Amino acid sequence: MKLLVLTFILLTAVFIHSINSQQYVVGCYFTNWAQHRHGLGKFLPSHIDPSLCTHLYYAFANVDLANRSPSPFEVNDVKPSPSTAPVIVNDVAKPAVNGRLNGQLKPPIKQPPPMSMYEQFNALKNKNPQMKTLLSLGGASVNSTQFRNAFEPEKTRREFIRNTIKYLRTYKFDGLDLDWEFPETEADRRIFSTLVHDYRLEFQNEAFLTDRPRLLLTAAVAAYRPKIEAGYDVRDVCQYLDYINLMAYDYHGSWNTHIGFNSPLYPRSSEKGDKRLLNQQATVDTWIESGCPGSKLVLGLGTYGRTFELKQKKNADTKPYGASKGAGQAGNFTASKGFLSYYEICDLIKKQKWHTEYDKEQQVPYAYKEGQWVSYDNQESIEKKCHYVASKRLAGAMIWSLDFDDFNGAFCAQGKYPLLTRVKRTLDSLQGPTTPIRIHKTTQATTANCGYSYNYSFFLLSINYIFPIFIYHFI
C-alpha cells in the first residue's frame, strides 16, 4: 500500500513540475505606422499570427503631457476606419471584372464590423487566450524632455499613471511597455527608477482593489554598456519589471564610417576596448553583472538589416570595419536609406543575385553587390541566438518587428514569418518537460510584493511536498 501511495506521490510531483515548467517568452512588436506601406509591405493587425507570440507589443503610444495620459499616434489606433478592415485575401487575388468574378455574379463581400486597430489587436487574444498584449509607450519619436516633463513632478507622474491604467483597461491591454529612448543623465536614471517603481505599485493596488489580474510592466532598454550604466539603476528596475526587453541590435549602422554587423551574437577576435561591447553577449553579460536576474531578460532580435554604401565599388573590403561612405539604398517598401526589412533582403538575394556570406565568429550573415552592403539575420543566425537564450537561462526572445519578417511568405520562399517561426520552434524545442521547478524565482517575486506569485508558489509547495507527506503518514 505504501509503495502504491509513494508511486502516486512521485507521479503527482512529476506532473505538477511539468505544469510549472515555464514556456519561453516570444515577444512580438507590432508597429502602427507599417499600415502606410504599399502593396505587400502594408501591415495590419490582421497579418499577425497569434500562435507565434506569447507577448504582443503595440508600438507606439504617445506621451500626452496636456492630458497626462498615453495617447494615440494614429487616428485609427482608437477610431475604426475602413482602410484597416482585415484584408480579404481571396478578393484581392481574384479581381472582379464588371462586378463578375470568373464569369459568375460577384457575391456581396461581408464586411466585418469596423474596428479600431487597438480593438483588432486585442481581439487576437480570442485566437490565443494565453497571449498577453502590452502597449508600448514612447519610442524613438518621443524625446527625453517629454518623459522628464511627464514623470519627474510627483503630481504629474501620479496622474499619468492613474490615466495609464484607465487607458490600458479601456482598450483591453494586459500591460505597459516603457520605451524611453533613452534615460541618460543621473536625474533621468532616478526618474526612470521612480516611475518603474510607482507603476508597479499602482498596478498591484489596482489588481488588489478590482480583483483583476495585475497589469504587466516591461521596458525596452539600451544594449550598449556605457548607455546602460548611465541610464538605469539595474537592480532596482529589474526588481519591479516583469520583463526587460533588450534592444540588442543597431550595434553598427550608417552612422559609423565603417561597415559592421547590426546584431552580432559575439565579438570579433580583432576587436579591442569598447568595440568588444558591441554584441549581444556583452549586453546580456552587462545586465546580469549589474544585478538583473537572467530569468527576466528577453533578448531582442532584429528582423531587418542595416545597410551601407562601400567606399570602394571595386575590390572593396567587405568584412566588418571595411570603409563605408554612408547609408545603403532605400528598400522598395520600407523606403528609408540605411536599413532593409528581411523580405526586401530576400528579394535582393533572389532577384538581384546579391552575394551572401555567413560570419561564423559573430554568428550573423551579410550580403553585398556593387558597392551596397547589408548585415542582417536569417533563420540560421536566429536559431543560434535562441540556443544562446536557453544556454544563459534567459526568459526568452523578442523580435523588432513583425512587419519586417516575410509575414506574407511572398519573398523568401520560406513560408510565412520565416524568422519568427524559427524563434518559436527553436525555443519550444528547448522546452524540456524536465525543466526544474523554479521555487527560487517565485519566492524572489515575493520580495517584489506580488501576492499572486506568493500564493501560487505556496500552492505548489503544498501540493508538491506538504500534502503528499501528510497523506503518506496517515495511510
Ligand X SMILES: *[C@@H]1O[C@H](CO)[C@@H](O)[C@H](O)[C@H]1NC(C)=O
Does 181 participate in catalysis according to the annotation?
yes
Identify which of 320, 323, 329 has the alpha carbon closest to the alpha carbon of residue 369. Answer: 329
CB of 65 to ligand X, least distance (A): 8
d(CA 330, CA 345): 11
Which residue is associated with the grid cell 570603409? 323
**Which of helix, strand or coil describes residue 462?**
helix
Which CB, 331 or 396, lies closer to ligand X?
A: 331
Specify the residue, 233 or 344, whose C-beta has the smaller distance to ligand X: 344
CB of 409 to ligand X, least distance (A): 17
DSSP string, 133-178: EEEEEE-TTS-HHHHHHHHSSHHHHHHHHHHHHHHHHHTT-SEEEE
Cell numbers representing residue 80 in the block: 475604426
In whole angstroms, the minimum distance from the beta carbon of 353 to ligand X comes to 11
Tell me the one-letter amino acid at 172: K
For residue 150, the minimal CB distance to ligand X (Å) is 11
If the CB atoms of residues 161 and 348 are measured against ligand X, the closer one turns out to be 348
> Residue 327 CB, nearest distance to ligand X (Å)?
12
> Which of 410-433 are b and which e, b meaning 16 or more Cβ less than 10 Å from the residue's Cβ?
ebbebebbbbbbbbbebbeeeeee
Measure the CA–CA gap between 175 and 173, rounded to whole angstroms: 6
CB of residue 389 to ligand X, shortest distance in Å: 31
Considering the complex, state which of residue 218 and residue 254 has its C-beta at the smaller distance from ligand X: 254
In whole angstroms, give the CA distance from residue 438 to residue 21: 8
Distances (CA, A) of 362 to 123, 299, 423: 40, 16, 18
Q: Are 359 and 365 in contact (CB under 8 A)?
A: yes
Of 34 and 244, the one with the shorter C-beta distance to ligand X is 34
- Kindly give, in sequence order, each residue whose CB lies less than 8 Å from that of residue 439, ignoring residues fewer than 6 positions away: 457, 460, 461
> Ramachandran region of residue 111, left (φ > 0), alpha (ψ -120 to 50) or beta?
beta
Q: How many CB atoms lie within 10 A of CB 175?
A: 21
With 0-12 / 13-18 / 19 or more C-beta atoms within 10 angstroms meaning exposed / middle / buried, residue 287 is buried
Q: Is residue 356 a contact partner of residue 412, using CB atoms and an 8 Å limit?
A: no
Q: How far is the CB of 349 from ligand X (least distance, A)?
A: 10
- Closest separation between CB of residue 415 and ligand X, Å? 21
Catalytic hit among 74, 119, 154, 181: 181
Q: Which CB sits closer to ligand X, 20 or 329?
A: 329
How many Cβ atoms sit within 10 Å of the Cβ of residue 408?
Answer: 17
Q: Are strands 364-369 and 372-375 parallel, antiparallel or unpaired?
A: antiparallel
Nearer to ligand X, 330 or 430 (CB): 330
Closer Cβ to ligand X, 128 or 332, answer by number: 332
Q: Are 397 and 391 in contact (CB under 8 A)?
A: no
- Classify burial at 93, counting beta carbons within 10 Å of its beta carbon; exposed 0-12, middle 13-18, buried 19 or more: exposed
HSE-up of residue 31 (Cα within 13 Å, Cβ side): 19
* Closest CB 230 distance from ligand X, rounded Å: 18
Residues binding ligand X (CB under 6 A): 143, 145-146, 329, 331-332, 344, 347-348, 352
Nearer to ligand X, 146 or 194 (CB): 146
By annotation, the residues acting in catalysis are 181
